[in-house]
Chains A and B, each alone.
Chain A
Amino acid sequence: MMANCTVRFMLGNHAVAHAALEAGVAVAAGYPGTPSSEIIEYIFEHAGETGTYVEWSSNEKVAFEVAYGAALAGARALVSMKHVGLNVAMDPLMSSAYTGVRNSLLIITADDPGMWSSQNEQDNRWVGLHSRIPVFEPYNPQNAADLVKLSMDFSSRLNHPVIMRLVTRVSHVREPVKVCGFGKPIFASGYVKDPAHHALVPANARLLKGELVKRWEEVKALVEDLPHEYVDDGSTLIITSGVAYRYVKEALEDLEVKASILNLVSPVPVPRKLIANAASKADKVIVVEEGDPVVEFQVKEALFDEGVRVPVYGKAEGLFTMVGELTLINVEEGIAKVLGVDTGRVVNHQQAVNAPPRPPVFCPGCPHAASFYELKIATAMARVKPVFSGDIGCYSLGINPPFNEQDLLTNMGSSIGLGMGVLRGTGGRQFIVAVIGDSTFFHAGLPALVDAVYNKAPMLIVVLDNRYTAMTGGQPSPTQVIDIGAVARAIGVKHVYTVDPFNVNEAKEVLRDAIEKVKGGELAVVVMRRACALEAVRGRGALVVKYTVDADACRACGICYNLLACPAITRLNNGKAAIDQAACVGCSVCAQVCPYGAIKPLGEPSGWLSKWGEL
């Protein structure tokens, strides 16, 4: 069975996906989100070889239900998402603990400490305590692969779901990993009805709660025997979980101090007896973990209950940072403080010439930039001062100058709901423009649009339909199959428009018309449809007809570089514009906004633009 094993240099997320395929995953579902997306992508690449069913779902709740239903039937299933995605899936997640599963359900959450690509840095290990679902946490790609197999077996042994908590520094770390051949996917032969366990009407749920509490005691006993790593080396005990283990090992080497280390496979629930035994030999305990003091609280509780009196230090005492990621230096400083040693580190931050900031920007030829430009002009011409209720996607970058068109931005699909709230909260006085992308629209915008129609909210909803889930790497989106304009009309929106943001004048007129409808007390939806530039150019680079500036015709008005802010357009010292030929993808928008006709295509552009328009 372990034949054909090799060591491959691979991404943590790929190691997770490969291990799941080795372990016979039959059904895998997910919704894209950094840092989780490569798990489902990898399964897609290899599902043909194994016969595994894999899907990008419309949101995390649906993804969860697809995997959960498969596991209720008796298949081996996994669901994968980023940390905030798990909030969307909380409803079925809580139920899955009550019903349990047949075979295994692996719930993968990729947390983002440091908020590299997220709106918060919630620690989903809490969810395990909240729901009574055990949480396993790996510290590197190899360990992640090992724990995937272990947690699937653990899940099927107890018929109970298991959460795997990844973080950016495991998901997006590349290291050698031992990989073997894929297993045969474990499907259920049929669904055996069992409403007493699978239908949570109150009478059933009350009984199942009792079973869950009993099962949780069983989980607590079984986690004692997981392959936790313990190094007995001195009277200081450091308890770690996940990637923190790696920082601690290096910190001890750098500080040249000795300490015992206990790294936990399961931060929830912690192995209480193992911890009590190790702590009873120690004169102090330090807990190091990425995120919140989830392990620390449990350790303190366990030691109190077991009567082990030893001081415990960790995040709750402010020893390590509570905001952002752990770093080696942060971990060293915390340990050094408790041990009364010096880190000996001198870091020189003194700098005479400083680097200007370089935040992410819209790509050259991004249709969102054109849409935001047109929306800005159209609202100004209509003399409305809207609140721009924004959403999660590449278009969140519309928060930056020169656009400043993302005033609110909190969670997936929030644009429409929060927009309605501001509308109601201001007694209907505030003009609202909700801006939402296609994938986000299908994810959580749809129920909000239903609400807007049902409760008659006069607002403008702009759907930036770029045909892909672009921000997370261009995964497919339901818009490729389902027409958003048709959906809006079917729901009952009277004023629905679809327009190409690359037709600048037409787009402005459509937006003006829609704004007038909203002024008249109606709801309007404008779908601005043009595919993501990155996806359009991929594999079609040879077709691109680029644009250039005729320096004699350019009057240095700055409209192109100041109002579109395309990274391919630069301002020369004389104020005139120039186009970087390596960056231009021939979207034609700058040529349309130039009042002097100074920007011209290097060839006949219509072929390329219509090819792009087919996506």
Chain B
Amino acid sequence: MKLNIYLTGVGGQGLITFASVIGQAAVDSGLRVTVAETHGLSQRGGAVDVHVRIGEAHSPLIPMGGADVVVAFELIEALRALPYTNPGTVLIANRRLIPPPAFRGRLPKPEDVEAEIKGRVAWAHFINAYDYAVKLGNPIFENMVMLGALFALTRVRELISMDAVEGAIVKVIGKAVQENLKAFRLGYSVTSARL
């Protein structure tokens, strides 16, 4: 068994926390897991990616074309992640486009991004995680809404129980625990309801 989850987004969106929660939950569920991160200068508003591999994987990095699941916290970064997908990939994208601050050219339109993604992967899901997080009081909860969507949409749920994830949220995040749990549950329920 091997499950490759490729995370992509913009520095500051909480990808490392997201990955740490899955990783901790996987360890608590007796699974092998490896998480490879981007640190340092690249975080400053730049593109970031995190490789999460659950099960019998050796390489710390997911190969191009090798992602079973892509979780994109932003639409442009979802586009950039497409070389990691294959026709069977499940792609979950936050329906939020953050314009690169210094970019002077023409930005792709969100609907064109969505069409491109749908043409490339069998299962594409778009989640208004930012809006839900704002409703919960802070955009910072966006990552936990996305985590809920991941559990609603993929076989991660067969490997890691909801209880294990909630336990990991408490363990890893430690602060604003109730709000983070709420965001996770909200992401799960609104996404499940759509299926």
Contacts and interface: CB of A to CB of B under 8 A. Distances in A.
B24 A471 contact: no
A326 to B, nearest CB: 9
A542 interface: no
Contacts of B44: 360-363, 394, 397
A247 B59 contact: yes
Interface string B165-184: 00000000000000000000
Given A347-B65, A567-B45, 4 more contacts: A140-B34, A174-B20, A175-B23, A363-B45
A356 B103 contact: yes
6 contacts: A169-B61, A173-B36, A328-B61, A329-B63, A361-B102, A582-B139
Interface residues of A, number: 54
Contacts, number: 151
Interface in A1-20: 7, 9
Interface in B1-47: 10-11, 19-20, 23-24, 27, 32-47
Q: Which 10 A-B pairs have the closest CB atoms?
A: A34-B40, A360-B46, A117-B40, A360-B44, A250-B58, A355-B80, A355-B79, A567-B101, A174-B35, A353-B116
Contacts of B63: 327-329, 345
Contacts of A324: none
Interface in B49-83: 57-61, 63-66, 76-77, 79-80, 82-83
Nearest to B99: A570
B88 interface: no
Contact of A354 (B20, B39, B42, B79): B79
A327 B65 CA distance: 13
A471 B34 contact: no
Given A246-B58, A355-B77, A9 B27 contact: yes
A348 interface: yes
A358 B33 contact: no
The contact size tier of chain B is: 35 or more
A327 B64 CA distance: 9
Interface of B: 10-11, 19-20, 23-24, 27, 32-47, 57-61, 63-66, 76-77, 79-80, 82-83, 86, 99-103, 105, 107-108, 112-113, 115-116, 119-120, 139
Q: Interface of chain A, helix or strand or loop or mixed? A: loop
A329 B66 CA distance: 10
Given A347-B65, A567-B101, A360 B41 contact: yes
Interface in A136-178: 140, 169, 172-176
A329 B45 CA distance: 29
Interface of A: 7, 9, 34-35, 116-117, 140, 169, 172-176, 243, 246-247, 249-250, 253, 325, 327-329, 345-349, 351-363, 394, 396-397, 400-401, 471-473, 565-567, 570, 582
B65 A361 contact: no
A400 B102 contact: yes
Contact of B11 (A34, A175, A249, A360): A360
Contacts of A351: 79, 82-83, 116, 120
A187 B177 CA distance: 41
Nearest to A8: B27
A249 B46 contact: no
Given A169-B60, A357-B100, A565-B102, A116 B45 contact: no
Contacts of B116: 351-353
A347 B11 CA distance: 27
Contact of A117 (B11, B42, B59): B42
Nearest to B63: A328
Nearest to B66: A328
A567 B46 CA distance: 11
B36 to A, nearest CB: 5
A358 B77 contact: yes
